[in-house]
Structure 1
Amino acid sequence: MNLSPLDIAALSVAAYIVGHLVTRSFRRAVDLSGPPRDSFLLGSRKALNDAPDAAVLFEQWAREYGPAYRVSMPLGADAVVLMDPKALAHFFSKETVTYVATPLGKFFTENLIGKGSLLVASGDVHKRQRKLLTPGFSTAAIRKLTEVFYDSAYKAKTAWDNLIESNPDGSIIEVQQWMNNISLDTVGIAGFSHDFGTLQGQQADVADVFHSLGHAPAKPSLMRMLIFNLAPHIPWLFKIPSKRSSILTKLNESMGQISEMLLSRTREQKAEGEEDKSVIGLLIKAENSDSSLYMSQEEVMAQMKLLIIAGYETTSISMTWALIELAQRPDIQTKLRDELSAFGSDPTYDQFTSGLLYLDAVVNEILRLHPPLSELSRQAAEADIIPLSTPTRTASGGLTSFVGVHKGTRMLIPIRAINRLTSLWGPDAAEFRPSRWLSSSIPGEGKEGGIPESARAVQGYKNMLTFSDGPKTCLGRTFAVTEFKTVLSVLIRNFTFELRDGPKSNLKFETTPGLLPRPKLEGESGTTVPLRVRRAD
């Protein structure tokens, strides 16, 4: 949809009027200091959008104003940013009850995957849904799924062997697309007993739509930026026709079609006495109205779509970043390959959890530096008092050891910034250094090993917020980490990775908007991550 300057002006005026009415009841900021408002229309979002790295700006503000501070939001509203470990622990412990999905988050999620998903559920509804789905992601379930992860990894290995066969110097492979295929085929088999077949060249509508999302411009247009930043106050702005909204609609339709097909097939198998123990089997069982963990058909469909998105997007992004980081650091890549090669066989699930320390360190460092979700936004459903471990500045210039929030206050948790805070992780917090995860007792690591005590103050998986924390911590965390380790172990043992133009080239990578931010080679279109891949010696 092409809008003229007059259209944009009219939209802005309308947004101002409606936004003024919507935000009037909670515009009053909590008593915290924060950066000045440099744009009434966009608030601090303008500075964050313009910053080369928003995580650096979040940390800069924390140093200046304290570990909890106020940022201005579009149309005169405010939000509280939490970067204090004690405050974060309190916040996450109360998620789903005191801190819930924002109207925009709920609106966007319901339009993408339907109503009733675990992602935006709160209170008792969230407890019921999570209890029902938990067996599908238990240790016993993931242990059995490890062979599925290996199957996908070896399919990619076979295809890459064929590509490299006629080129002893290696082939340029667009690795992100392959990581996408691995993730989609894996979640299809593990979650729904369905093989999308993308690793063997089959077309999948869902994969095509996901791929098209990666071709959005790296820098959003003025119109898109206005819509995105005003939508928290006027969610229906997301319904304005655009290329992106049409893609999201198509994604919803594609996921709906495949979900309906899979549900129908599984219902038929159940009627014939076959029991599917995958996640879809649990959902079918929950459709029984006599079950104490009953789910409506609308809820079942929403969970299926959520599983497709989560299983596809997050893991493929993490695995792509791993290959990028290792391609730029041959010494770390070699050390990891040596550990994996010395192991002598395909590790089991239990060996992944305790027997491969350097692989664990590399995976942890990727998850720390490149969380798929960079920010978390919530809204206070009731008034609350949040304790702080370090005093923060008030609006009047004093200090306070707690933050009082009103009902309706917007809360912002900058996950990526917290994962790389120098006050927690040390002066090299932004560097890719897997050895920080290794104990100082490990030979060759010296005193530099082991994460700092300050970082241990953050709760969550491995003292990171990559998988969130509290009652809403990612249910598929063990699934994702095990798949990540399995695929990386196969690829690194069998191949070496370099930057496309050689190890000394100055190629840089940036992120581009997809459903979640994805890596891409700077200056190239789409989500392109071409690396030179050779067989390992």
Structure 2
Amino acid sequence: MSTILEPLKDIMNNNSIAFVGLGAGLVYLIFKVIYNKLTSPFRYIQGPASPSFWTGHMNQDFLISEQDFEHYGSTYKIKGPLNENRLLTKDLDLIHHILKNDHDYEKPGSARYLLSRILENGVLVTEGEHHKLQRRVMNPAFGSTQVRQLIDIFYAKALLLRDVWATKTAESSVGANVESIEGLGKVTLDIIGMAGFGYDFNALNNEGKISELYEAFRIASQDRERRPWHILQAVLPIFRVLPSFRSAGFKKAKKTMARIGNELLNEAQTLQSGTGEKGDTTSKDLLSLLVRSNMSNDIPLSQRMSDADVLAQVPTFLVAGHETTATSTTWALYALSLHQDVQVKLRLELLDVKSDQPSMDELNALPYLNAFARETLRLYCPVPQTARVAMKDDLVSLRDPITDSRGTVHTQILIKKGQVTTVSIHAVNRDKKLWGPDAAEFRPERWEKIPDAVAAIPSVWGHILTFSAGNHACIGWRFSLIEMKVLLFTLVRAFEFNLGVPVKDVLIKKQRHRSTANSECRW
């Protein structure tokens, strides 16, 4: 408690209004906890004990929850902040209902508040009509035609990473150890910079140097000063009227991000209007395409995004388009290292391609590369879960009935307004009832004939939940998928991969969901 109250000491000494507000907030906090405990329809649902009153299971690793699903059923109770009752589910009927009815199930306000400190009102934060407007304007920039035009950027950066790793392997006749997540993190940063908003981070070429924009973004996103107070503000909006007490470094980083973002937006708008020196309206980066779509005569002024909303997509592109693809591709190399037969089979297919830079359609026509990408994204989804809060009371049918602590069997579950359900993407993608007894095994050959049951998984691609579904599905899934395929095509043709550390030392971390291991490359 002292950690939470510390930011308010000066204000409490000099501002009675703030003191009264704090007291009212604490009273409300106590009431909320007691009321939730006594009235939540989830209170008899079974689930593991809470490890923390303040954070609940937020810091627990749901990636190892498969045993809990076997013990409690396809839907069970977990604890959110302040010991709030929540659901964790892999029940497909419940998931389909939640993701389809996005007007009744929104992202939790606490998560949106924390995200908005970095992303402002980007597409990952907004809900309702605001979100629909943004998606309507942004969708053209993420279509197949537009992503196809970006593939030259993908190849240019992938080849640069290949050359960087080749230089390292050339120094030894037996190959070299490389931190795959480091190299892939740099290349995906370079790709999203150029393909996202025409900004060259030059991360692969600048050893030891960090671009001004990325350094600012890193500081802002990793700022953890007085984190308990920020969580309290996120969970209880009454505390948001008080200062957030961000560090000086955070404030400076936000100013830098705003300045560079405005420069990028002004440049894109100038080029689109044709008033710049070049008069160039053919820029291919996502921000330019977004500006072009937003300024189109087909969109009425009342339905266009504001400059602030367009600007908010710059950090959104960084969050959604950088580390997720780097993580997925790292796990792909990890899988190749463990399964040398798969690596040989994939390499033979890729080496059989005559071009060093095949088109998007040619990449998508490679059957084993496609199966390998699907299996990687199924087994190692970069975002393991997503949460939704009910905007009204709702009675939802369950595909898999559950038994509560009183022995009552439920074929339906009441979700009251304000209560949160967490969808376990990871558990759906590994569910033995859907994928068979080998669901936890890496086997690309399964995609030659997948089980009929997986057709029930809500999905925008590949019968997996990795990119989510519904109106909040990942808007950039085509971009991410082709980027990953280009990286694999370029690297697997050039190197042989082996695990650079003992397999027991490879860990999955919940926050970043990535391997901590390095890889060994042989060129």
Contact 1:43 1:73 (C-alpha < 8 Å) held by counterparts? yes
Structure 1 counterpart of 2:108, from 91, 98, 102: 102
Structure 2 counterpart of 1:426, from 436, 442, 445: 436
Q: 2:130 is matched with which residue?
A: 125
Q: In 2, distance between residues paired with 1:473 and 1:247?
A: 33
Q: 1:458 to 1:71 in 2, by over 3 A?
A: same
Structure 2 counterpart of 1:154, from 152, 159, 168: 159
Which amino acid letter does the alignment assign opposite residue 531 of structure 1?
S
Match status 1:35 vs 2:37: no
Find the residue that maps to 2:468 and give its secondary structure: coil
Q: Deviations over 1:90-146 (max 9, x none)?
A: 111012x101121211111110111x2211222222111101011111111111112
Q: 1:54 to 1:308 in 2, by over 3 A?
A: closer
Pairs within 5 Å for 1:113-262: 113-114=119-120, 116-201=121-206, 203-208=210-215, 233-234=235-236, 252-262=254-264
Q: In 2, distance between residues paired with 1:284 and 1:86?
A: 38
TM-score between the two structures when normalised by the length of structure 2 = 0.84
Contact 2:374 2:444 (C-alpha < 8 Å) held by counterparts? yes
Q: 1:297 to 1:510 in 2, by over 3 A?
A: same
Q: 1:349 is matched with which residue?
A: 360
Question: Bigger CA drift: 63-72 or 411-420?
Answer: 63-72
Alpha-carbon distance, 1:337 to partner: 0.6
Alpha-carbon distance, 1:474 to partner: 0.4
Pairwise CA RMSD: 3.4
Q: 1:299 is matched with which residue?
A: 309
Match status 1:366 vs 2:381: no
Structure 2 counterpart of 1:321, from 331, 343, 346: 331
Q: Deviations over 1:498-523 (max 9, x none)?
A: 1225xxx4452224476x443213xx
Q: 1:453 is matched with which residue?
A: 452
Q: In 2, distance between residues paired with 1:326 and 1:166?
A: 23
Contact 2:56 2:83 (C-alpha < 8 Å) held by counterparts? no
Find the residue that maps to 1:79 and give its secondary structure: strand
Q: 1:343 to 1:239 in 2, by over 3 A?
A: farther
Q: 2:71 is matched with which residue?
A: 64
Alpha-carbon distance, 1:227 to partner: 6.5
Find the residue that maps to 2:303 and give its secondary structure: coil
Q: 1:445 is matched with which residue?
A: none
Q: 2:15 is matched with which residue?
A: none
TM-score between the two structures when normalised by the length of structure 1 = 0.82
Q: In 1, distance between residues paired with 2:510 and 2:400?
A: 35
Q: Deviations over 1:209-228 (max 9, x none)?
A: 67779999xxx99x96x678
> What fraction of aligned residue pairs are identical, expressed as a percent?
28
Contact 1:34 1:61 (C-alpha < 8 Å) held by counterparts? no
Contact 2:190 2:201 (C-alpha < 8 Å) held by counterparts? yes
Find the residue that maps to 2:235 and give its secondary structure: coil
Alpha-carbon distance, 1:493 to partner: 0.5
Which amino acid letter does the alignment assign opposite residue 491 of structure 1?
L
Q: 1:443 is matched with which residue?
A: none
Which amino acid letter does the alignment assign opposite residue 458 of structure 1?
I
Q: In 2, distance between residues paired with 1:39 and 1:16?
A: 22
Which amino acid letter does the alignment assign opposite residue 483 of structure 2?
E
Q: 1:41 to 1:264 in 2, by over 3 A?
A: same
Contact 2:337 2:499 (C-alpha < 8 Å) held by counterparts? yes
Alpha-carbon distance, 1:206 to partner: 3.9
Find the residue that maps to 1:411 and give its secondary structure: strand
Q: 1:274 to 1:22 in 2, by over 3 A?
A: farther
Q: In 1, distance between residues paired with 2:315 and 2:218?
A: 17
Q: 1:149 to 1:5 in 2, by over 3 A?
A: closer
Q: In 2, distance between residues paired with 1:451 and 1:228?
A: 45
Q: 2:18 is matched with which residue?
A: none
Find the residue that maps to 2:352 and give its secondary structure: helix
Find the residue that maps to 1:498 and give its secondary structure: strand
Question: Bigger CA drift: 264-273 or 357-366?
Answer: 264-273
Q: In 2, distance between residues paired with 1:3 and 1:361?
A: 53
Contact 2:217 2:257 (C-alpha < 8 Å) held by counterparts? no
Contact 2:146 2:284 (C-alpha < 8 Å) held by counterparts? no
Q: 1:209 to 1:304 in 2, by over 3 A?
A: closer
Q: 2:19 is matched with which residue?
A: none
Q: In 2, distance between residues paired with 1:206 and 1:329?
A: 38
Contact 1:382 1:406 (C-alpha < 8 Å) held by counterparts? yes
Match status 1:388 vs 2:398: yes
Question: Bigger CA drift: 164-173 or 308-317?
Answer: 164-173
Q: 1:139 to 1:36 in 2, by over 3 A?
A: closer
Q: In 2, distance between residues paired with 1:40 and 1:184?
A: 36
Q: In 1, distance between residues paired with 2:367 and 2:248?
A: 45
- Equivalent residues, number: 494
Structure 2 counterpart of 1:93, from 84, 91, 100: 100
Which amino acid letter does the alignment assign opposite residue 73 of structure 2?
G
Find the residue that maps to 2:126 and give its secondary structure: coil
Question: Bigger CA drift: 156-165 or 98-107?
Answer: 156-165
Q: In 1, distance between residues paired with 2:162 and 2:220?
A: 26
Match status 1:83 vs 2:71: no
Q: In 2, distance between residues paired with 1:168 and 1:301?
A: 48
Match status 1:54 vs 2:92: no
Q: 1:481 is matched with which residue?
A: 481
Q: 1:532 to 1:70 in 2, by over 3 A?
A: closer
